[in-house]
Amino acid sequence: MIDSVESTRDDSGIRCCPLCAHRTEPYVEDRRRAYFQCLRCALVFADPASQLEAAEEKAEYDRHQNDPADWRYRRFLNRLAGPLLSRLSPGMQGLDYGCGPGPTLSVMLEEAGMSMAVFDPFYRPRTDVLNRTYDFVTCTEVVEHFSNPAQDWGRLTALLHPGSWLGIMTKLVINRERFATWHYKDDPTHVSFYSPETFAWLGTQFGLTVERVDQDVLMLRKMIGFRSA
């Protein structure tokens, strides 16, 4: 959402990264918008001035047809659910963060014996579920929508207690040439794009081990004994 973005620049006028506040450089520009890449954490992000207002953003999400009865959608989500369940025990408590208009992953995990809560800033804005920690948190096709990633990742990782899991699904940046023609960036609600280097930085910053289990599925685990700087 555009009202949550701080378009910061350093003293020399260089745009700062919205995740780590380091300097950035132009990455790609197309007819829709410009993109920048951080020189430290490698986050690629869309020009904040191009980001949608909240009502426009929700209108895009309202077009999604997420149905728990859709076996194709379940098969897609099982790319994360399968590896995550192999790391969990029945009865564990989880949160589906950014569940969207038709929560489905939470239903699948409940069917597998987990206790689930859901949160979505547009469709399930129950902030009480953000005031505790969980054995695991899922975040499928959500982190690319983070318009203020420093704040959003801080909130997301605060939901983890030591030893708990964070399952992420998002497509990863490969290189500048591929990005220039990448369909994933053309979704106007996609504003933050990650590479393995970005996830390595996130791991160091928030005390997470990072394991890539599929092309665009990662399992992050909160380290026991980690103390932030």
For 219, list phi and psi in degrees, rounded to 5.
-115, 120
> Is 47 in contact with 35 (CB distance < 8 Å)?
yes
In a domain, 175, yes or no: yes
Q: How far apart are CA 86 and CA 92, in angstroms?
A: 12
Bridge partners of 165, per DSSP, are: 136, 221
Q: How far apart are CA 147 and CA 127, in angstroms?
A: 19
In a domain, 155, yes or no: yes
pLDDT value for 6: 45
Kindly state the tokens that stand for 57: 């953003």
Coil, helix or strand for 172? strand
Each residue's pLDDT, cut to its tens digit, for the chain (229 residues) gives 333 334 466 555 578 999 999 999 999 999 999 999 999 999 999 999 999 999 999 999 998 878 888 999 999 999 999 999 999 999 999 999 999 998 999 999 999 999 999 999 999 999 999 999 999 999 999 999 999 999 999 999 999 999 999 999 999 999 999 999 999 999 999 999 999 999 999 999 999 999 999 999 999 999 987 765 5
pLDDT value for 66: 80
In a domain, 52, yes or no: no
From the list 137, 69, 81, the residue with the least C-alpha distance to 105 is 81
In a domain, 25, yes or no: no
> Is 23 in contact with 14 (CB distance < 8 Å)?
yes
DSSP conformation letters of 88-128: --TT-EEEEET--SS--HHHHHHHTT-EEEEEBTTTB--GG
pLDDT value for 2: 30
Q: Which residues contact 16 (CB under 8 A, 6 or more apart)?
A: 8, 9, 10, 22, 23, 24
pLDDT value for 228: 59
Q: How far apart are CA 94 and CA 110, in angstroms?
A: 9
pLDDT value for 64: 81
Range of the domain at 199: 64-222
Bridge partners of 45, per DSSP, are: 36, 192
In a domain, 119, yes or no: yes
Coil, helix or strand for 220? strand
pLDDT value for 9: 61
Q: How far apart are CA 225 and CA 5, in angstroms?
A: 32
In a domain, 124, yes or no: yes
In a domain, 167, yes or no: yes
Q: How far apart are CA 164 and CA 222, in angstroms?
A: 6
pLDDT value for 216: 97
> How many domains, the chain?
1
Residue 91 CA to its chain's centroid (Å) = 25
Q: Which amino acid, one-letter code, is at 109?
A: L
In a domain, 28, yes or no: no
CATH code for the domain in which residue 80 is found? 3.40.50.150
